[in-house]
Each structure stands twice: as structure tokens, then as C-alpha cells.
Structure 1
């Protein structure tokens, strides 16, 4: 197994906002001042407080003395090179809003891209592409990204060690396929992250994450839809991931932890020649132990031979990994454990081999997915009614205790991300 590199750099299941939600955001913003930015028709000598007299560059936004309740409206179709630096702070009752206006594609930012060091921001309607490192860098607390896009970066979103209690939802992260370290030897290549979490208590939900995959001198290929390093109690739920190298890989440098991270109701598919769902480590690994990881009600289909469902190695134990009610089909190894093994139950597995002990109500069988890309269950599936009934704490709270389509769990739930 590859070594998860230490990343060092400077610096709840809702749908996309409905018109009513957007109006609510706008009304809260009108309690302050709304500033407009248009890279095509703007003028930095204008006051920027109307769509008729917008600013032209991000520099005017960066220099503005933004207050709680203010808003920045960015014209769709705009294109900027540089940095959007969001350093002011709103409040829980009066966040500062970044939002789109007009028609056309999302405003495009390249260069240093979007850096959120303040607290209580609500950022939507931006695309960060080809950025120096991360499309969106979040170092503050209680911020929300919603309806954004990031592509062609080392990380689509990077939540830094100081970033906590942030929400990344209903967004698209595709082809974040660059490496920050990619040299021979050292077991230290790093990059191709859809979302990289170095902070604590963040929520990643309702996103589409594809193409987190890059060539690596050390590993051949590498990348992850959601990578967690030194981050605790993050909740990764209800995401759709396709053609990533790994869905999630976890680690912590010595003296730090990556404890209590949750993965629930995610759908993971891939047509690549290699891949995995979840990689975690015990105390014998240089970036272990990773304690208290929970994976529950995920559906996985990775048909290539060089694939693995989950791996818990270098001293696996129930305190390292708990799995409940997952449906995992791979062309390679369905799961792998050593030591005392993971705490597993209620799952359906299919693969060429499996190096773990099946837990209560788990079975090796074809789950009868609808298709390679549609992981709903067909009639007669052994996953129907197989799952253990679990309390809301297993899902990160009652608001998240729904399948990926938003259906509540019945008294006799199905294994996997879908309830039939």
C-alpha cells in the first residue's frame, strides 16, 4: 500500500439552492451592501454597488471592507486570473455571501484562485480551474461552498489544518489530476485530490467527484476523491464518485490524529484499471493509527482486477475501522484486514477474493445492481432487507439518516446507498 504523504502548503443533504433559498440568501445580503463584479463590462473606478456600475477585477473585492450581511455578486461568463481572498468574517445570523448573477457559465478563476480565511462565508456560483494548488482553500470556520466547480487543480478543495466546521455541498469536482510532488523515490508523491481535509468537523455532502487520478513516479498512479490527513470527525456523505483512483485514503502524522471520520451513503464507481474504496491504517504504519473510521451504507462497483474494496492494515482492529451495511463489488479483493480485524456487519460483497472475516448478516453474493453505473438494487437482490437497523449517530445525525436519493430508512433497511 502506498504511503499517504504529508501535505504542506502556505496559506445536510439539501439539493442545490432553490429559488426560495436563493431569495433568502439575497435578502440577508441586502441587510448590508451588495457589490457587483463583471470582468467584461466592469470598471474598477466605479462604486460597484449596482449591476449597472460593476467592478472589473478581483482586486477591488479583496480591498473592500466587507461586513457581516454584505454580498459579492459575480457576473456569469466572467473570467479572472489571480486570487479571490475572502478574509473578512460574517456571523451565523449574517454571513457574507458570494453569489452569481446574470446568465451563462459560472465565472471562471485561475491562478491563486479562491482563498477563504474568514468565517461565516456562503460561496456559490464560481469555477476554479488550473489553480496553482487548490481551487478553493478554506482556512476559516463555519463557511459553506455550494454549487461551485473545480477542475485541473492539485486539489479541488483544500480544507487546511485551521479550517473546521465547514460545509462543502452540491458541487462538482472533476479532473483534479495534478500532483504537487511527483519525483522518483521518497514514497512522498501527493496530489490529485477532489477534496483534501486537513481540518476537523467538516461536512462533504451531495457532491459529484470524478477523475481524481494522476501519474505518480512512486506509485504508478495516485489520487483520491476525498483524502483525510490529520483531520478528525469529518462527515463524508451522499456523494457520487466516478473514475477516481481511490474514494478515500486516511492517515495522520505522528503526534496527530485522524479520528472519528464517517463515510455514509456514498456511491462509488470506476472504469479504471485500478482503484479502491477505502484505505486506512493501524499503529504499525508510518501514518497510523487512524482510529474510529466508520463506513456505512455505501455502494461500490470497481470491476477491474487491480482493485480493492477496503483495506485495514498494519494492525487493524475494531477500534480502527467499523463497517456496516455496505455493498461492495470489485474485480479484485473485496476487503483486507490483519491483526484483530475490522468490526464488520450487514454487508454484501463480491470479488475474486476476500481477506477478512464476514460479520453478522454479511454475505458473499452478487448484489444485483441495475447496471455498472446505476447501483440501485434489482428485485431479488440479497442486499434487500439485509442491513442492520442503526441509530442516527451512525450517520452523523438524524438529518443525514436518509439514502442517497433522500428516502428515509425503513425498519428493515437494505444494504448499500439506495433503499429500493
Structure 2
């Protein structure tokens, strides 16, 4: 972090001697008793008795004092009764051995046993010069009325050489009243450290996994060492086999996860929500310092506060080979990545790849003034900056080392700029949206729409970012440059070849078909002109407007539009429309005619008046007003094309007269700089005809606003609070074959992690959304699937056999959706209904011919 890069200052010899004497005086008194190996001890705060032998659940000990006075042996287990509560410090003695660690865990059913430090100075759970321990399944808190030197769990090795194997797993650590100061940034949830300067000391095989840390000050999870200065001066004795994995951190006063003094340390699959919540200094959600080859991967960091740093991630001082990959960073006030280093305090060989950053504010990348890391590479990431945001993509870029930025997608609707040095290399990037004057030169840049599936729609959770995949037809598909040592996989796990050109951005899979609905910009559009221009193509690939005009020979013009929706996976639709945007008319009251064109073989670069395809059925005659879009209903035409196996649609637009030099209309073309004006085809999948929620208890006889509610709810709760939802589709207009069929439901709200819903078939299709109640709901039968839900991530239900059967008997299909997670008030799931204003959230049935 900025301004703090030393671990601890080495002490003068005289002072060191004093510290050693004091340390000896503070060593624990000799234990009262030692026990044989592989013994299991039970502790029960309610029914226990310290006079018991403690070796069975029927003869448990009672107090922490008894545990703390015992030296445990390799292979022993210390089990605390679920639901029990203790106040004070847990500090058991002894060490395990290789293959025989001492294990702390819980026994019985119910909530985790609680160790409440009750505001004590130091740690509620503490280990000193002890190794081969595994600590599991405790709830730990250490709350006080004022700040102090407090921890949840602290593990310390001092002047002992190499210590081994310390695992901290599945703990719930919360409300730790530490100090939000800018000193050593260590008080808080979990701290594994090395102290002392007399003997080179380090930890080997440390695992911090599956813990939840909440409301901890200052730091959630951290490591540190008095031998941890990676400055090349011989004082570096790093942790080895250090893994911080799968932890959930919420509401942390300062830094979330800090990895100090490691070699090949790994920070992965963690979630940090709301770091820097109270501290006023410099904090980041996840970062290493003084380490060699640290890796941060598969993490999510969001909602980090303030711009005193305030990023999701950081490659800090004295690093070599910091790798940041496969992470999801969003809504952090300070940005995505802080990059530190200055002079000899290095940060070399940094790699940042396959990450997704959405709406990270202030600056996407912040560099330390006057320094750019040696061999720094930023490639194949996707960055989304929303409208109204002034985020700078890079800030404070300086120094002599060049920065390499390649194969990224920078989807920029914001107003910020770039900090670029003359020797920085930007190549094969996509710059889309706003283009500030400071946008860097890029010999192979793309500035057209990269066709992300749904940019800006990332939710909470690493799996809630499918909107950043590339759609079929994206110019970013297969157009990147090869990068040596590219990691071999993308954010989603798709392979990245060492020999074939990759995609640009974080996604390297094939183009994604739009499976439920979509909007397609015209793939070809051009005008044709008669008379002496009849054999000349009218700049179809470049003109940003298309002129339609009835005039004398040589001045008459027609416009042609073609839409290619080959990435639409369905065979049945609700509706389809074409929207054309007139930008100028020669006079008021002009009419144009739109007609179907059956021949789709023409292209905008070769069409002329002489070779134009003929039109047939008239789709509409309309009066044109400049600035008012024209909408054409092409539902029947698109449905017919789908049934025939074609996924293209062409239109001719022409003027019926009168012939005049002022009888012209200009329409925006697919090349128009204003993307909102371009000609578009919109297709909606088959949305539900009826969908509603039912509620039990006192609401069992009442319809729950089925015709107007924008969500469908499920909840397994007490009487009067339980909810289920019903969805019905009517595909009576579909006459094609059915090779596959699926239903897509999109949860817009999931109250808590891990909630599961079941989808079951309903054979009775006579119910309606305006009348159904809990009392009248139809019964369900076959279970179609059980789904663990993530907000924003659609679930897909395979209903192929059910739709095939229904094709011969009514062409309707109903389902029931209900919860099997007894989470009470925290069990609500809300799906988008057919009345939802956002079309992509509505329930959709997809039928593939």
C-alpha cells in the first residue's frame, strides 16, 4: 500500500536483549499435565466439569482455563460443544507432528461454539510457537467499546526457524474492535505472523480457507514477518505453501486480505465486500507485498470505500512476478488495480490478465508516481466504465519502463482519460464508446461495438458476468495477438491456444448465440440510385445515412436493409420489429413504403440499381417525421423464415412520390456514429402468457396481483410468508418440429447465498395469472430440476420431452417453482415476470426446430 512498505524495523542489539528477557518472563507457566497421543477431548460450557477426564461427550471439560492449562500431543483432537459459549482467550498448548496435527473442531448439532474475547487485548484465539495445528468451525469475536490491539485469531512464531502446517478453516470471526491506524495494519480477524530477529524464522504450509470475517478492524486476513523484507538485502525468509482460499469478508475497517512475505503464495476464490469501511488511511480489498510470484485469482472484490487507494486489488511494493488473473472487480470507489513500486523498491514482471472490471471508479489502474514496473503486462481483460463516471483508465503513469497493454476490451461510456508514456505499447485493444483526446495510439485497435452479450449487467458473484462474453459476429472474436505464456485459459475456463489468434477481452470462447431475445443491427444497408448511377455502388460500406427519394431520372433513390440473426437459437418468437430512424426530411408529410425482399444474397458493397433484388409484400406505408423512429412489425416474416430454416431478413424502403427534389428522407445507417439510431431488428422469445405468485396462510385465498407484478417470488417460510410461483407458455402458433426446448428464468434477487429452488411440471393449464391463489393452485408432478440460485444468473430448464408431448395436445406448458431452502426471512427469491420492464428478465420458452 502507498506509504507503507517495510514489514518491521530490525531492533538495535541492546534493545533486542531487553525484548528477549521480557519475552522469556512472559512465557506461559509449565502446563499442569501432558497427555498421550491421539486422544479426543470434549468441552461443554453448560454440562461440562473440569474434574471430568474430558475424553468423552458424556464426561466433558467445562472451561477455557482447563484447555489452556493442557499441553496437547500430536494427533489429539479438541472438540467444543455446538451452541456453547465461552468468554476469554483460547490458548491451548503443545504442537502436533507431521501427519499428526492437533485438531480443534466442534461436536454435536447446532451453531458453532463461540469464543468471545470480550474485548481482551490480544487475540481471542492465540497460538505462540506452536505448529501442526488445524483450527475449524469456531465462532470468534472480540468486541470492545474503544479501539485497541485486538484480533480474532492470531498465530505467532518467534525465533524458531521453520514452523509447519497451520490450518484455519470454516471459522466465523466477527466484531473485532482493533485499531484503524496506519501502523502495521494487522489487528483484525486472522493474523499469522513471524516475530523476532534472533533466528531466521518462517512458516511453511499455512492454509486459511472457508472462513467468514465480518466487521473486523483494521484488517480481515493478513500475514506478516519480521524477516519479510523482499528488498534483496538478505533479510527475506518468506512463507512457503501459503494459501488464502475461499473466504468471505464483509464490512472490514481497512484492508481485506493482505499477504506479506511469501514465495508462490496463492490468494484465490475469496470475496471481499466493503473493505476500507472505517479507516481513513490507505487500504485495498486484496493485495500482496514483499513477496515473490504471488498470485491473486478467482476472487471477487467490490464496494471498497474511499479514494485513499480504495481499489479492489493491488500489486504493492517489493514484488516480483505479481499475477492478477480471473478476478471480478466491481463498484470499488478507488478503482480496479493499484500498482506500487519506486526505485529499488520494485514491482517487476507483473501480469494482469483475464479479469473483469465493472464500474470501478476514479481510476481503473493507479500507478505510483515516477515508476512503472519492469516487464508489466496487461492483456485480455474486459473493462466496463458506465455512463456518467469520470474514471480514468490509467493514472500517474511515469518512469522509464514501458507498459504493455494488449488484447483488452475497454468499454468506456465514461468521461475520463488515459495517462500514457511515449514508450508504452497499446496494441490489439478494443476502444469502444467515448474516445477522449488522451486515448492512446494502437496500430490494431478496434473502435466498433465488440458485441458483448450484455455489458454492464454483472451482478454479485463471479458467475454473474456472462454479459461480458462475446456474441456471434463480434469483431473481437479471433482478432487478438498471440501472447507467449498466456495462461492457457480465459475467465470462464475456455482454452486459450498457444498458436491460434485469441479473442480480445477476458472471453476466449466461441461467439454466444442470443438464446432468448436480442437486437440486431443491420448487417448490410445501402442505397441504390437510378439513371447514370444505376450501375454504381453508392458507398454502401461507409455512408452514415441512407437517402430515399422520388425524383427525376438520375436522382431517385431506394434504400435496402438486411438483418442477419443467425445467432438466434429459437424456433418460436413472441414478436419481431424493425426500427428505422429518419434523421432528416426534405419536406413535411412525406410517405415511404417498406416491402419484404426475399433474396438475401445482396451485399452493401456490391448492390446497385441494376442488380437490386425485387421486393414483394408491402409491410407498411407510413408518414415520416424527422427524429421519430419508424417501427415495422415483421413477426410473421421472421417466424416464417425461422420455420424455413433461414435467419435473414431484407427490406426495401422507397418513396411513392410525388417526384421532387425535396421529396427525400435520410435514415441513419449501420455506419452511423450514433449507435442508438442505427437500423435494428428486435426479436423477443416466447414469453409466458400467464405467471403469478401464490401465498399461503391468511393470503391463501387472495390473488397476488398476477397481472401486474413485475416479479415472481419463492420462499420457504412460516405460515402466511411462504410463496410459490407458476408460469405458463402457449406455443399454439408454432407448427415446426422440436429438436430441443428450454425455459429460461432469471432471478433478479436472491436473499442469501446457496438458496435452492425446484422446478416441477404442472399438467393442468387452465389456471390464469389473474385468478390463481394458494387455494386454487394446480398440483405439480415431475420434477424438472433443482437449482442453486445466483442473482442475475439465469437458470435453464430442459423441457424438450414435455414440449414434444404438448405439440400433440394443446401446445401449452405450465411449471411450478418452489423453494426447498428453509431460510425463513432470508429465503426469498424473486424472478423477472412477463410484466417486467426489462425484457431480458422475463420468463422465456425457447424451441429449437
Q: Do the structures match in fold with TM over 0.5?
A: yes
Distance, in Å, in 2 between the alignment partners of 1:387 and 1:267 is: 22
Distance 1:378 1:224, change over 3 A: closer
Distance, in Å, in 2 between the alignment partners of 1:168 and 1:261 is: 20
* Alignment deviations for residues 183-215 of structure 1 (CA, whole Å, 9 cap, x no partner): xxxxxxx96222232231333322222222233
Q: Which runs of 5+ in 2 are unaligned?
A: 10-18, 20-35, 118-122, 144-148, 157-162, 177-186, 195-201, 221-251, 305-309, 433-449, 513-849
Distance 1:171 1:261, change over 3 A: farther
Residue 359 of structure 1 and its aligned partner are, at CA, apart by 3.8
* Alignment deviations for residues 106-153 of structure 1 (CA, whole Å, 9 cap, x no partner): 333343123344333332212333464333334454322332233334
Residue 363 of structure 1 and its aligned partner are, at CA, apart by 2.6
Partner of 1:238: 298
With a CA cutoff of 8 Å and minimum separation of 6, indicate the structure with the bigger relative contact order: 1
Distance 1:125 1:166, change over 3 A: same
Matched, 1:134 2:151: yes
Matched, 1:346 2:399: no
Tell me, what secondary structure is at the counterpart of 2:65?
helix
Match of 2:87 among 81, 90, 111: 81
Which moves more between the two structures, 379-388 or 153-162? 379-388
Partner of 2:192: 159
Match of 1:122 among 128, 134, 148: 134
Matched, 1:101 2:107: yes
Matched, 1:299 2:356: yes
Match of 1:281 among 328, 332, 340: 340
Residue 394 of structure 1 and its aligned partner are, at CA, apart by 7.2
Distance, in Å, in 2 between the alignment partners of 1:175 and 1:159 is: 19
User: How many residues are aligned here?
Assistant: 372
Match of 1:377 among 467, 470, 494: 467
Kept in 2: contact 1:76–1:105 (CA 8 A): yes
Tell me, what secondary structure is at the counterpart of 2:91?
strand
Partner of 2:255: 193
Distance 1:296 1:410, change over 3 A: closer
Residue 280 of structure 1 and its aligned partner are, at CA, apart by 2.4
Match of 1:258 among 313, 319, 323: 319
Match of 1:208 among 271, 277, 281: 271
Kept in 2: contact 1:171–1:208 (CA 8 A): no
* Alignment deviations for residues 271-301 of structure 1 (CA, whole Å, 9 cap, x no partner): x6x223321223249xx32334433322222
Q: What TM-score do the two structures reach when normalised by structure 1?
A: 0.72
Partner of 1:309: 364
Q: What TM-score do the two structures reach when normalised by structure 2?
A: 0.39
Distance, in Å, in 2 between the alignment partners of 1:229 and 1:158 is: 15
Distance, in Å, in 2 between the alignment partners of 1:266 and 1:275 is: 16
Distance 1:168 1:198, change over 3 A: same
* Alignment deviations for residues 71-94 of structure 1 (CA, whole Å, 9 cap, x no partner): 222333333333333664334423
Residue 8 of structure 1 and its aligned partner are, at CA, apart by 5.8
Matched, 1:169 2:209: yes
Distance, in Å, in 2 between the alignment partners of 1:414 and 1:235 is: 22
Alignment of 1:337-416 (within 5 A): 337-339=397-399, 340-351=401-412, 352-356=416-420, 357=424, 359-365=426-432, 368-373=455-460, 374-378=464-468, 380=470, 407=493, 409=495, 411=497, 415-416=505-506
Kept in 1: contact 2:286–2:301 (CA 8 A): no
Q: Which runs of 5+ in 1 are unaligned?
A: 11-29, 181-189, 396-400
Distance 1:313 1:95, change over 3 A: same
